[in-house]
Chains A and B, each alone.
Chain A
Amino acid sequence: AQSVTQLGSHVSVSEGALVLLRCNYSSSVPPYLFWYVQYPNQGLQLLLKYTTGATLVKGINGFEAEFKKSETSFHLTKPSAHMSDAAEYFCAVSEGWGGSYIPTFGRGTSLIVHP
């Protein structure tokens, strides 16, 4: 069975500071990994995903994430936070062929950006 752990239900940063949101997963087969963002009163929107190939993945709005198999991690980063980045962020894993392709989501991390 697959699972996702997001460390920290809330992360607070100043505008212009580095954003780091942590995600660790467990999966019995090679995983597909996703980060989604949810703004208030909206659905989830895909930020980026890792399927195969390059382990450093770039997404929208300047975000990127690195798949580290040895650490079973897929942390999300952004060099400089903007006020508009304030939102809820969800990490998700699916297992692809041989496993459950239905994504399992982490509990979410609320990103707070201070001026």
Chain B
Amino acid sequence: KAGVTQTPRYLIKTRGQQVTLSCSPISGHRSVSWYQQTPGQGLQFLFEYFSETQRNKGNFPGRFSGRQFSNSRSEMNVSTLELGDSALYLCASSLLGQGNFVQGGELFFGEGSRLTVL
């Protein structure tokens, strides 16, 4: 079974630009979560989508947004980039909310998209 795929793996942007990151979950997983990972803050939860609906949202400004398509693929967008947005953005898929909570909500992560803002 193919794993979680994130594109692009690396990208460089300048302040003020916007960026879109893509995530394809494991087949059959309808929950997709996004995390921001930085050396200073660790792993911070951005949002979670399930069946095209945002179910949970972390404490990030409105510049960070996302969406999920009918095939469960997800995108996240960051507008008006700031230097502090430089980070590894991780996508994770899971069976959360699909009657399998006995599995404890294990997350399956992609390799991430490393964003550098200059």
**Chain A residues in the interface with B (C-beta under 8 A):** 32, 34, 36, 41-46, 49-52, 90, 94, 96-97, 100-108
Which residues of B sit under 8 angstroms from A52, Cβ to Cβ? Answer: 102
A74 CB to closest chain B CB (Å) equals 13
Chosen A-B contacts, 18 in total, with CB atoms closer than 8 Å, are A32-B105, A42-B112, A43-B92, A43-B109, A43-B111, A44-B92, A44-B109, A46-B108, A49-B104, A49-B106, A51-B102, A51-B104, A94-B104, A100-B56, A101-B97, A101-B105, A102-B48, A103-B105
**Chain B residues in the interface with A (C-beta under 8 A):** 4, 6, 33, 35, 42-43, 45, 48, 56, 90, 92, 96-97, 101-112
Q: Which of A44, A45, A51, A106 is most buried by chain B, counting CB atoms within 10 A of its CB?
A: A44
Which residues of A sit under 8 angstroms from B101, Cβ to Cβ? Answer: 96-97, 101
Which residues of B sit under 8 angstroms from A100, Cβ to Cβ? Answer: 56
B54 CB to closest chain A CB (Å) equals 12
Kindly report which residue of chain B lies nearest to residue A49, judged by CB atoms: B104
Q: Given A44-B90, A45-B109, check contact A96 B104 (CB 8 Å).
A: yes
Is B109 within 8 A of A94, CB to CB? no
Which residues of B sit under 8 angstroms from A90, Cβ to Cβ? Answer: 43
Q: Which of B33, B45, B90, B104 contacts A43 (CB 8 A)?
A: B90
Q: How distant is the Cα of A96 from the Cα of B101 in the complex, in angstroms?
A: 7
Q: Which of A32, A102, A108 contacts B33 (CB 8 A)?
A: A102
Closest 3 CB pairs of A and B: A43-B109, A51-B104, A32-B104
Sample of 9 further A-B pairs with CB below 8 A, known A43-B92, A44-B109, A106-B42 = A32-B105, A36-B107, A36-B109, A42-B111, A43-B6, A43-B109, A49-B106, A51-B103, A105-B43
B112 CB to closest chain A CB (Å) equals 5
Q: Given A43-B109, A49-B104, A94-B104, check contact A102 B56 (CB 8 Å).
A: yes
